[in-house]
Structure 1
Amino acid sequence: MTPPGQRAFILTRQWRDTREGVALDLWLATEAGPRSVVITGQQAVAFVRESQAADVEAVIRHDAAFELKPLPLKTLGQEPVLGLYGQGYRAMLRLDKRLAERGIHLHEADIRPTDRFLMERFITASVTVEATDGDGHAVLVNPRLKATDPYRPALRVVSLDIETSAMGELYSVALEGCGQRQVYMLGVPPEGAPPDMDFALTYCADRPAMILALNAWFREHDPDAIIGWNLVQFDLRLLQACADQHGLVLSIGRGGKPIDWRAHGRRDGYLFASIPGRLAIDGIEALRSAMWSFPSFALESVAQALLGEGKDVDDPYHRMDEIERRFREDKPALARYNLVDCELVTRIFAKANLLDFVLERANATGLPADQSGGSIAAFSHHYLPRMHREGYVAPNIGGSHGESYPGGFVMESRPGIYDSVLVLDYKSLYPSIIRTFLVDPIGLVEGTMEKDAANTVPGPNGTRFSRTRHCLPGIITHLWQRRDQAKRDGNQALSQAFKLLMNAFVGVLGASGGRFFDPRLASAVTLRGHEMMRQTRKLVEAEGYEAIYGDTDSIFIWLGRAHDEAEALVVGERLVALINGYWKESLASELGIPSFLEIEFDTHYKRFFMPTIRGSEMGSKKRYAGLVEEDGKEELVFRGLETVRSDWTPLAQKFQRELFGRVFRREPYAEFVKAYVRQLQAGELDDLLVYRKRLRGKLDSYDRTTPPQVRAARLADDYNAKQGRPLQYQNGGWISYVMTLNGPEPIEARMAGIDHDHYLTNQLEPIADAILAPQGDSLAALLNQQAELF
């Protein structure tokens, strides 16, 4: 029996139309295991302008499934609205389309019934289930669900990976998790005694048998979450296609339910997969959402970066040949290779705390735990129920368009090499501006109508925001407080989720075509940030220091001479107190509002380098390097420079790290540079010469220009065609190539010799001259000195 008040986490949510109305199907994770919940008798809801009510009534007059009701609500344009209630959500969507053809646009018709049910109860992912019926396994019908503090369940997780032929034919499926290490392999067992294996290898006579075995595995072991690498867009899609081809149902959802596939409206070919009762979490999307960055998100590359190891076949250009060979000659070896991929994914998830992150992200956003992105949807989840209580309905997505708005403030930089540069950083600048200056869609509407200016807070460009009628500042305050509590509790994943969510909200206000897009709103935040950064610079320079750069929420301050760590910290803390005190006092006296603006000490660079724009004497932006000291150890930091850019070669990146380190530490560098060039020209560094660049369009779309990566990709696919392999680059992707005496050539089909002079001129020289020019030196001068010795 499920006790009253049991805490749970919403794994999946789906809706379906029934004769009795819309039914919501929820799967919950509880301490007692998974529970199925059904909420029946729900109505589809939308809103229509009162001025268009007669036109809508004419359309629905003979349809008893719809009803119009008066409500005390209005649009942001102050037009009264009526509630439109329907028995089925699909019928509501059809009606919305019919009305749109007549120029009548329903408000909030796009909000799915499950999302509306949860958001109006302020439920994100964690709930308290109040029910007294059920035996622990039966479906709970219409229990009371209430929002609760974030609850993180212990989930049963399985890592899934498949191997296929070059033509996408299914060879094997590996599963690692729930205490199991299982591989299903197409084929018959080899004759003789099976080899010793530390996993279960089951042979399937044909692909239908593999699909049926996979369905049975999920019924027996019942995981809460499936993880993988490119899980939905490749593995699950191919499994679904295989099942469809053979007239089978891929029923890996709880209760033997199939996957519910849904196309993404804005990404061509991208699909969402909703699996009843089970999360489907892709490692690549989870890492990106958690702000991890890698030169490549290939499993091999991420595993090497995070775990220090990779797969047992590490030659990407012959990997498919090796898979084909193992399938023909050594299926146990292919099974082990397949399972290693699963194990690497499991370990990456553990190393990066990805499962914690996606669960806590759901607790923060209100979106399904396995849904990446969705800033606009998350904003709506928090904002809509609050604006309804303020008497407003929301605009439709795509209904707002307008001019652009200014971005973040970027200060002109002063190029050069400096001793002791402090970086001070505003904590969550844009959310703190919203919270302090009451920036809000409803607040702007109410403030504009307010006749008494004393009841408003002035913003940039003549905007005014209501002091009393607003929603977003309160939402930010609530999320901020929950983030602070998460930090106190040591819940780093939840703290990070709240931070990302708050920072995304300004982007939502500035997202053209979004539900709440208004350039006045976005400008009220970004232009206020400009004012703050300019004032911060004045305060710093009044203290006798120089601001040499600033970017959105950070200011770089040159202290004028070298300081040790203790001295720099004292200066930093004094400036922090000065700046925060200024905002507190000035905003209270001038506007009568409390300040939630907070600048913090971020970094002390013992040595700092700001480059010029290449070919110019002007300072660069968003590009710098420095030497920091932590716990007595020195470390180089690069931002925007070649070392951290994936489109520069390892040759350049290694050279930059070593050269900059020597310059920062005031060590001799001439002999290092000369030796490095000698090694390059002697061919000793040829393994560092590979460019890796992305083709952002289809290969045949490059008709006006032919960048090096495009030429290399065309040569690679010509080679693939001659080898009888599938073409790899027709639809874009990443290409690795080297510059040869015949131009760019893919490394899998290189014919000509390496053009070492290209690398000297285009890779080493720009890096060397950038850091050496402030010292009156250059790569050419060093090499000329070398030539004079002979």
Structure 2
Amino acid sequence: MWWWWLLGRVSHFNVTTLQGIVESRDGVVGELQAAFKLCNSVVDKENYTGFILQATYRVQQGKPTVYLFGRLLDGRTFLVRDHHQTPHFYVDAAAREAVGDHIRSTGDKFSFAGEPLLCVDVAIPADAPPLRDRLQAQGFKTYEADVRFAMRYLIDRNIKGGVEIEGHAMAGDGTDLVFDDPTLKPAQAVISPRIMAFDIETNPNTDSLLAIACYGYTDDGALLDRVIVVDKRDRKMPPQAIRVRSERDALELFCRWMRDFDADVITGWNVIDFDLTQLAKVAQRVRFDLQLGRERGRMQIRPPQGYFGSGHAVVPGRIVLDGIDLLRSSFVKMDDYSLDAVAQQVLGEGKTLGTKSADNQHPDKVAQILSTYETDLPSFTRYARTDARLALQILESLKLIDLAFARSALTGMPPDRVAASIASFDFLYLSALHKKRLAAPSVVSTRTSAGPQSGGAVFEPRVGIHPNVWVFDFKSLYPSIIRTFNIDPLAHAQSEQQEDCIATENGCRFSREPGVLPAMLDDLFPQRSQAKAAGDEIASQAVKILMNSFYGVLGAPSCRFYNPAIANAITGQGRHLLGWSKAWFESQGFQVLYGDTDSVFVASGYADAQQANELGQSLVTRFNADLTDYLSERYGVDSRLELEFEKLYTQLFLARVRGGSQGARKRYAGKIFGSNRIEFVGMEVVRRDWTELAKIIQRNLFERLFQGEEVASYLQDVIRQFRSGALDHLLIYHKGLRKPVSAYTSNVPPHVQAVKQSLSPPPRVVAYVITTAGPQLVDEATAPLDRDHYLQKQILPVATPVLEALGLAFNQVIGDDRQIALF
């Protein structure tokens, strides 16, 4: 058969595939067409490098297949399908009879105690949990029986984002290339993902879709900035708006845009819990098969867990990153996480429609949007397009998607799961264990609460204003403690069989053999140093977030390595070291004014700020040398700890507890040497639940205090403006809801009272004012503002500390209310 010779010229293609093609054709012509088609679709076996966006699996004909979607460095998209992975976990040898036919092998993995484990195979991933639960109910220990199937595939190969693919590439349907059963290896890979932001608009009841706006750039720089408008009236559409007659038509066009744009990342603001959720409801209502992925498959949305949780969306071959979640998981703090507020703060612009219309007839924003849709299509479409654009531009400005991909490359988690610190720790730790042929215990699902855990040390502040104060800070204290004392779950287990161990202050023991967690940190520390030296803030921040998560993970009951003794060993050593630091500075003749976890505040004793700054730089060298000697003598360890001279406050104000005489912890303000900037910690100016007026007054009062300027006249002027109503726009409170409104029963705080009076859906962050009728939402306030409340609860508290430092009293400064009132 000569066409078989032709097919044989294709390098190493799958013979089984060929036989299936031939058997499915009638006659020579069909076989020849199949042969030429395969020749055109198969590329010679070679190496490719790319980045994995999504790891999942499919069960086909009773067998699981790993699916890895991603993008190559050359820009092409790919799908890896691996049929060879078998779902499995491990058990103690004592479970041999209970496991029965599921046993695959012995001696492949060992427990922390060095005991050989049995490998248990199951047919599909869903078979593992019931078998695991049955074995555990019988008293047998299981190991790694909770690890997700697709993630285990990557863990076993230590593939973290970047991947090298060696195999045949075939033309795909939905992806550019498809690889069946290739060889995969870890690789370094940085890609520029293609990102589409979108936003939908609905009527107030969310039961009618009005528009879908999309925004993004293609690889060649072409801009997608369009909006689909559902309109049955044949109205003329503004530029960049496309009219469709029905919701179904809108969904169909949106799916087509998604396919043509071929986004790696879908994003938006509250895009999972609102936009995608609503689109899924519309699709169900109009009986439309909503296909947004790179291959056919229904979008899956996991609803939020708990009141403050966020949903998670799975779209085949694409990842969904919500803008709000990216901010929070990247530790970007905002007073208000609404799109308008964040856009104003980050970009200097906001939405094109306010919360109230010009004629003040639509206090509800959604009703205003509907009114604009009905009467002003140009403004409506501009509003929809702006929302999509702002969402993407905020993320680009803060480089949050770049950060998510950098964290993915560090942890092995897909970019949409990098905030899962326990899963990230699992990936790294299990990968390291497997190199040692060790398996970790399964997560104990019955564990519900954490054991007693201690925090960091805090010294009581010496209240008052202090000149030229050094602030010394331990560089990455908890990670450095882990490295110095070999604090590690495996090292802790090994210490039970050893005599010469490292004993921490809480009595916890660790082997002196190199631990897994310290070794992980040994790799991460130089990575961060290199990133900082290169000016790569994204990489540096990604490493910092990961390293700082390790302590918290060990103290979390849902972590497989949870152990309060280990977590307390870290904090206990931190407290001991801070106490030793205080004693060291005092032995050098300096006064320690305050200390908190990893920082110590020391009065330099110098009147000249320049001299104080120079001495602070040199003092840490002596300190670190003495600390190294101390740790070697007391514990027999090599110090990985380093105290740094962080800054000099030319003036430092340590506040007292409000209404008391002792110093307030984590609450101070200081002017930094070489700058006019004042740094506030724990003060009202940095807290979301204080009004903007209180923050402005506090900031200005401290500026005058530190500069030696007069404060009484300033405060009197502010009070006059306040009473005149000129500052009313600064009297808004912002407070987040901690639980559903209905859950507030016995103690109902003001922001909840305001929400309960409203017919609008409760927002996550409530904006309200205090009126003579009580708390009311800003957009629905009807009663006059309660000015006495603001005077006593906002102005007085922030002014008193500064006035007391100057020997003044608040009532003295502002005088009798009747004398300064303007009406």
Q: TM-score scaled to structure 2, two decimals?
A: 0.88
The answer as to 2:515 corresponding to 1:476 is no
Work out the CA distance in 1 between the residues paired with 2:157 and 2:520: 15
Structure 2 counterpart of 1:723: none
The answer for the alignment partner of 2:531 in structure 1 is: 486
Per-residue CA distance 1:355-414 (angstroms, 9 max, x = gap): 211110101111110225211101110111322344542222235566312112222211
Distance change (3 Å), C-alpha of 1:91 and 1:328: same
Q: Tell me which residue corresponds to 1:119.
A: 155
Task: Give the C-alpha shift of residue 189 in structure 1.
Answer: 6.0
Say which of 614, 620, 635 aligns to 1:576.
620
Instruction: Name the structure 1 match of 2:179.
Output: 140
Taking the aligned partners of 1:775 and 1:79, their CA distance within structure 2 comes to: 70
**2:203 is aligned with 1:170:** no
Post-superposition offset of 1:774 = 2.5
Matched, 1:54 2:97: yes
SS of 1:255 mapped into structure 2:
coil
* Per-residue CA distance 1:217-274 (angstroms, 9 max, x = gap): 1111212211211111211111112112222222111134332334566778743212
SS in 2 for 1:211: helix
Distance 1:690 1:701 in 2: 24
Equivalent residue number for residue 661 of structure 1: 703
Alpha-carbon distance between aligned partners in 2 of 1:109 and 1:267, rounded to the nearest angstrom: 29
Label 1:485 to 1:415 Cα distance change in 2 as closer, same or farther (>3 A): same
| Partner Cα distance (2:87, 2:128) in 1 | 7
1:722-763 per-position Cα deviation (integer Å, ceiling 9, x unaligned): xxxxx312xx63222222222222223323222111111111
Query: Aligned ranges for residues 667-746 of structure 1 at < 5 Å?
Result: 667-716=709-758, 720=759, 727-729=760-762, 733-746=764-777
CA contact (8 A) 1:286 1:372 kept: no
> Which of the numbers 770, 777, 782 marks the counterpart of 2:813?
782
Tell me if 1:159 matches 2:197.
yes
1-side partners of 2:307 and 2:355: how far apart?
Answer: 31
In 2: Cα distance, 1:264 partner to 1:113 partner: 23
Report the equivalent of 1:760: 791
Equivalent pair of 2:94/2:140 in contact (CA under 8 Å): no
Provide the secondary structure at the position in 1 that maps to 2:663: coil
User: Residue 48 of structure 2 contacts residue 164 of structure 2 at CA under 8 Å; is this kept in 1?
Assistant: yes
Q: Quick one: distance in 2 between partners of 1:752 and 1:686? A: 13
1:235 matched to 2:275: yes
2:754, 2:777 within 8 Å by CA — same for their partners in 1?
Answer: yes
Instruction: Give 1:93 shift.
Output: 2.7
The CA distance in 1 between the partners of 2:244 and 2:134, in whole Å, is 50
Structure 1 Cα separation of the partners of residues 729 and 781 of structure 2: 13
Classify 1:706/1:261 alpha carbon distance in 2 versus 1 (closer, same or farther; 3 Å): closer
Structure 1 counterpart SS, 2:815: helix
Structure 1 residue 496: Cα displacement: 0.7
Distance 2:773 2:576 in 1: 53
1:724 — aligned with what?
Answer: none
Say whether 1:594 aligns with 2:634.
no
Q: 1:759/1:208 Cα in 2 relative to 1: closer, same or farther (>3 Å)?
A: same
Counterpart of 1:244, as a letter, is Q
Q: Which residue of 1 aligns with 2:65?
A: 23
**2-structure distance, mates of 1:619, 1:760:** 25
Deviation per CA, 1:135-192: give whole Å up to 9, x if none: 583411122211123x220222111111111111321101111321121111136456
| Mapped pair 1:210 → 2:250 | yes
C-alpha distance in 2 between matches for 1:643 and 1:607:
18
Per-residue CA deviations over 1:292-339 (Å, capped at 9, x if unaligned) read: 111011111111111111111122644222201122122332111010
Aligned identity (percent) is: 32
Distance verdict in 2 for CA 1:190–1:627, change over 3 Å: farther
What is the 5 A alignment of 1:389-788?
389-399=435-445, 403-450=451-498, 452-453=499-500, 456-468=501-513, 470-564=515-609, 566-630=610-674, 633-716=675-758, 720=759, 727-729=760-762, 733-784=764-815
Q: 1:486 Cα shift?
A: 2.5
1:533–1:319 distance in 2 versus 1, CA, 3 Å: same
Q: Is the 8 A contact 1:611 1:771 kept in 2?
A: no
Letter in 1 for 2:321: I
**DSSP-derived class of the 1:526 partner:** helix
1:277 equivalenced with 2:317 (yes/no): yes
1:349 aligned partner: 395
Alpha carbons 1:73, 1:80 under 8 Å: kept:
yes
Label 1:55 to 1:583 Cα distance change in 2 as closer, same or farther (>3 A): same
CA offsets 1:616-638 (integer angstroms, 9 cap, x no match): 111111111111244xx411211
Q: Secondary structure at the match of 1:139?
A: strand
In structure 2, what residue type is equivalent to 1:616? G
Instruction: Answer yes or no: is the 8 Å Cα contact 1:50–1:80 preserved in 2.
Output: yes
Q: How does 1:287-306 map to 2 (within 5 A)?
A: 287-306=327-346
Distance, in Å, in 1 between the alignment partners of 2:577 and 2:258 is: 56
What TM-score, normalized to structure 1?
A: 0.92
Shift of 1:786: 8.9
**Paired position in structure 2 for 1:39:** 82
The whole-number CA distance in structure 2 between the counterparts of 1:489 and 1:774 is 45
- 2:259 maps to 1:226: no
Structure 2 residues without counterparts, runs of 5 or longer: 1-42, 357-362
Among residues 308, 315, 330, which one is paired with 2:348 in the alignment?
308
Q: 1:742 to 1:607 in 2, by over 3 A?
A: same
Q: Contact between 2:450 and 2:555, CA under 8 Å: does it hold in 1? A: no
Could you tell me which amino acid in structure 2 is paired with residue 55 of structure 1? A
In 1, the alpha carbon distance for the partners of 2:520 and 2:739 equals: 40
Q: Is the 8 A contact 2:307 2:739 kept in 1?
A: no
Contact 1:125–1:362 at 8 Å: present in 2 too? Answer: yes
CA change 1:364–1:189 in 2 (3 A) is: farther
Distance 1:90 1:737, change over 3 A: same
CA contact (8 A) 1:768 1:778 kept: no
Q: 1:342 to 1:458 in 2, by over 3 A?
A: same
1:13 touches 1:24 (CA, 8 Å); kept in 2?
yes
Q: Which amino acid aligns with 1:625?
A: A
AA paired with 2:764? G
Q: CA deviation at 1:469?
A: 5.0
Q: Give, in angstroms, the shift of residue 593 of structure 1.
A: 2.5
- Kept in 1: contact 2:84–2:181 (CA 8 A): no
Please list the CA deviations of residues 553-607 of structure 1 after superposition, one character each: whole Å capped at 9, or x if unmatched: 111122234432x323312212211221122223334444321111112122121
- Is the contact made by 1:170 and 1:242 (CA closer than 8 Å) also made in structure 2? yes
> Which moved further from structure 2: 91-100 or 701-710?
91-100
Aligned CA-pair RMSD: 2.3
How many residues in Structure 1 have an aligned counterpart in Structure 2?
Answer: 761
